[in-house]
Structure 1
Amino acid sequence: MPDDQILSVGIDLGTSTTQLILSRLTVKNFASAFSVPRINISKKEVIFKSNIIFTPLATQTEIDAAAITKFVADQYQAAGIDKHDIQMGAVIITGETARKENASAVTQALSGYAGDFVVATAGPDLESIIAGKGAGTNVTAKEHRCNVVNMDIGGGTSNLGLFSDEDILDTACFDVGGRLIKISPQTKEVTYISPKVMQLIQDLGLGIHKGMTVTPKQLQPIIDVLVNILENSIGLGEKNPYFERFITNHDLHLDKPIDGITFSGGVADCLNEELPADVFRYGDIGLLLGHGVRHSQIFKKQTVYPSVETIRATVVGAGSHTTDVTGSTIAYTDDILPLRNLPILKIAKSNEDVTETQLAQTVEERINWYKVQNELSNVALAFTGKHNPSFQDIQRYAAGIVKGAQELINKHEPLIIMVYEDMAKALGHSLFSQLPERYPFVCIDSVRVENGDYIDLGEPVAGGEVLPVIVKTLVFG
């Protein structure tokens, strides 16, 4: 089978900025002529990077969908690409933008701009995973055999992801970013202050307000607090009195050693030794914040590893597809397939060999990673499993999953379980006995997935003995 080339697009709608990447992917079928296709990317070439624009808003609570659509159309034209030539891609809506009232309307408006789209509205935890993988932190952690935190410092938030040997162990998010204060580059007047920073200004007695002309020196006490919060977030320095206030959802569990740091996000491009004369040229405090981080305890006391990407870390080039099948040991209930674009939530192997209660706590905590504005959509839970599981192991996995996934079960979402080791049929039988009567579920094995992947599950074939599975892995630009 000859290699095919396809065009893909990645669109990132962030708190502050929106950007687009076009890639040409060479896809190869690695299977023999007599087996099920296994389609993987053999080569990737970025052929176009858009300008990075400020995310257009119609109001403070509404994204300007028409402006976003026009931006995408204009970029296609600038690249000399017809939208009908795009075969796959991804839209990722992150940060404050994911909380806007019409986020879903924007994804629908853009859905005509690629063939087979992965669309994700990413809450702070999922954004931490995507940004860390985009920055290459998972690869760095594996290569150096250590625990590495990626700090994705954007306009509105800083997303932290702790990686170990490519596994994501923990996430966190703080309301620390470069556009918490906006300043006119021309007049140096303050045009916006975030509510939390406004409260901080009052507590510090700084007297800074909208419409006021400011200098870097006047803003420095605010920068000091924000930098100190980032230091505290990885266990450095004395706890700042305002630390709790700036937590977006939760902080890191500091029960594991942190051996290194990577940086991504717009502020990562501002980690300069010296400040430029025009420190407000981006219309915000990003350069001041970056300079503060560069001279913080983070650089003095931690190993800082280079990142693959910084400001473009959450731009996704495409969803590469691996077609696979799972059979012989599957278990599922009728009439719930097909299912499309389910995000994978993979439990780290180190979190599997624990008690039933501990496994349930881990599953429950990880499911909360996928909440956006406290709303939970369905996910596929993935485990490595055991090569030769005992009856007690099977019972422990099933009970931990059912207890931990109770919020999904209460919503009557189909329970989708994926295990790499060959134990799905036995686990499926145990799940069946512990779930409510006639509860919809699928339990499959022998398919390799990672956090940040998405899957499609097809309708059963071969007399119900086989399920087609398409794994979509986000490819970072």
Structure 2
Amino acid sequence: MGGSNREPETMISAGIDIGTSTTKLIISRFSLMNVAGTTHVPKIEIVDKEVLYKSPIFRTPLTNPSTINVVEIEKIVRSEYAKAGIVASQIATGAVIITGETATKQNASEMLHYLSGEVGDFLVATAGPDLEGIIAAKGSGAYDYSSRSGKVIANIDIGGGTANIAVYKDKVLLGTCTLHIGGRLIEFHEGKVNSISPPVQKLLTGQNVLLHVGDNPESRNIKFVTDFMAESLGRILKNDVQEKDEVLLLGHHPNWHEKIDTLVFSGGISECMYNHEPDKGQKSNYDDIGVQLAKALQRNEALQSYSWLEPVETVRATVLGAGTQTTEISGATIQVASDELPLKNIPVYNYAFGENLQTGLENFEIAVKNAIDIYDAAREGQNFALYISELPYMGFRDIQKLAAAIIQVMEQRPDPDQPIVLILQTDHAKVLGQTLIAMQVRQSVICIDQITVEHGDYMDIGRALESGVVPVVVKTLTFHSS
């Protein structure tokens, strides 16, 4: 793939979103090409993304209010793969994510790791409200629009259980926030209130408002709830969190500092606003406050004071983001032990050399011991990826010094036979990896570069492609509780 006349290499990606109300799947095809000239070091990039298949929107199956029906989820996924004309072994990358209130279910983590092994060994188990908001912003178009417009854009993805806010400017994430705002927080059955979620019940109690199971769906107190949600969202977007809003916060306070210009709503609630989906009858199947909440947001004066931008995708924003926006491609000059791939759920420990090799090496052993204490406190053999950043300019002798230090410190891991996984900020992956091998390191070596990671991230490294690069998904594994 080094020549410019070669046909683009392709790989198949899948995104699966298991949300509070709905489950959906998307299949995409990525085209990869060497974008460097023939006389330059190869640089492989994703040059095109094509959506091949979008599933129908399914009601998320539960065995009881606190447990996801794993068997039914797997049936849905396998059936949709068949309709798309693919098998699990064809899929090279992608993500399965669990969003909203579904991430609080008892078997959420268990289900994701099961699916990760059963419906494609590429699939990454990701969850966490901040990541949900980030992925939805990419699927809705807000992320791209933030670059084209130069404005501060807040994407607000509202589904059945949560509103996930991600604020961007010029494709830079400024902050996130997650709220207990969603359509299924009050549900109806046969013309009566059937369930009231704990966050809403706390809100009602705190505001001395009464609402009971069995009440009429047209009760003015339901309008009070949806209006309060809209008002609270308006305050939070302005970073004006009041004591009464705390009941709706899930996790941290809003953490952006720039004034928001434009709002983009995605998720199931935005579908009630924009009606993108062809099956107009679907909304009637979901007996909840979704439509009322959408109307409350649309008539709220504080929210209307912003510019509104219609999303590219509404209810499918998160699954589109998961299937098309989570994958990065490594540098082409890397060193990987192909028989060790794929690797999943590898935590990342960042060690910065501060542009000084000697000083960095003096503290290197302490850093690796710290990584072991963080990620393998019980000394059970949990491996980790060492992200080496802020390296100075290095000659070959410097590379040899760094390689020797790596060999020495990696022997201190509780299970030293595991592969040595290195991510380099600079383009030293191939030379460092080959130096380690030349120095007869006894472990397998996976050394990659041109991937952006942060301390505390988790990552999956997929199988090497024909071009020699590897697909990488950087993620979080945080499960939030209700």
- TM-score, length basis structure 2: 0.70
CA 1:285–1:240: 2 relative to 1, 3 Å: farther
1:453 and 1:471 in contact (8 A); partners too: no
Identify unmatched segments of 5+ residues in structure 1.
329-336, 343-377, 460-467
Tell me the C-alpha RMSD between the 2 structures: 4.5
CA 1:455–1:70: 2 relative to 1, 3 Å: closer
2:116 and 2:123 in contact (8 A); partners too: no
Higher mean displacement: 130-139 or 11-20: 130-139
What's the secondary structure of 2:76's corresponding residue?
A: helix
Post-superposition offset of 1:149: 2.1
Q: Distance in 1 between matches of 2:274 and 2:13?
A: 33
Q: Distance in 1 between matches of 2:463 and 2:201?
A: 51
Q: Distance in 2 between matches of 1:73 and 1:203?
A: 45
1:17 and 1:52 in contact (8 A); partners too: yes
Post-superposition offset of 1:189: 1.3
- Corresponding residue for 2:231? 228
CA 1:312–1:133: 2 relative to 1, 3 Å: same
Q: Distance in 1 between matches of 2:236 and 2:369?
A: 32
**Aligned: 1:196 with 2:203:** no
- Corresponding residue for 1:472? 472
Post-superposition offset of 1:180: 0.3
CA 1:341–1:157: 2 relative to 1, 3 Å: same
Aligned AA for 1:91? V
Q: Distance in 1 between matches of 2:152 and 2:392?
A: 30
Post-superposition offset of 1:312: 1.1
Q: Distance in 2 between matches of 1:294 and 1:406?
A: 50
What's the secondary structure of 1:310's corresponding residue?
A: coil
Post-superposition offset of 1:53: 1.3
CA 1:458–1:117: 2 relative to 1, 3 Å: closer
1:45-444 equivalences under 5 Å are 45-111=50-116, 115-184=120-189, 187-215=190-218, 217-235=220-238, 239-253=241-255, 255-271=257-273, 282-315=286-319, 316-318=322-324, 320=327, 322-324=329-331, 340-341=343-344, 379-380=347-348, 389=355, 407-408=374-375, 416=385, 418=387, 423=392, 438=412, 442=422, 444=424
Q: Distance in 2 between matches of 1:118 and 1:34?
A: 36
Post-superposition offset of 1:405: 11
Q: Distance in 2 between matches of 1:244 and 1:402?
A: 39
Q: Distance in 1 between matches of 2:239 and 2:424?
A: 43
Aligned AA for 1:301? S
Aligned AA for 1:317? G
CA 1:411–1:81: 2 relative to 1, 3 Å: same
Q: Distance in 1 between matches of 2:348 and 2:91?
A: 27
What's the secondary structure of 2:211's corresponding residue?
A: coil
1:44 pairs, out of 36, 49, 58, with 49
CA 1:418–1:457: 2 relative to 1, 3 Å: farther
CA 1:300–1:320: 2 relative to 1, 3 Å: closer
1:89 and 1:115 in contact (8 A); partners too: no
What's the secondary structure of 1:243's corresponding residue?
A: helix
What's the secondary structure of 2:122's corresponding residue?
A: strand
1:424 and 1:444 in contact (8 A); partners too: no
CA 1:279–1:21: 2 relative to 1, 3 Å: closer
Post-superposition offset of 1:48: 1.8
Higher mean displacement: 440-449 or 305-314: 440-449
Aligned AA for 2:263? I
Identity across aligned pairs (percent)?
Answer: 31
Post-superposition offset of 1:65: 0.8
- TM-score, length basis structure 1: 0.71
Higher mean displacement: 282-291 or 211-220: 211-220
What's the secondary structure of 1:89's corresponding residue?
A: strand
1:63 and 1:102 in contact (8 A); partners too: yes
1:29 and 1:37 in contact (8 A); partners too: yes
Post-superposition offset of 1:16: 1.7
CA 1:323–1:307: 2 relative to 1, 3 Å: same
Aligned length in residues? 415
What's the secondary structure of 1:78's corresponding residue?
A: helix
- Corresponding residue for 2:480? none
Aligned AA for 1:209? H
CA 1:406–1:252: 2 relative to 1, 3 Å: farther
Higher mean displacement: 15-24 or 78-87: 78-87
Post-superposition offset of 1:66: 0.6
- Over residues 105-155 of structure 1, what are the superposed CA-to-partner deviations in whole Å (9 max), with x where a residue is unaligned? 423443466555231221112222222222233322222334322211111
Post-superposition offset of 1:18: 0.4
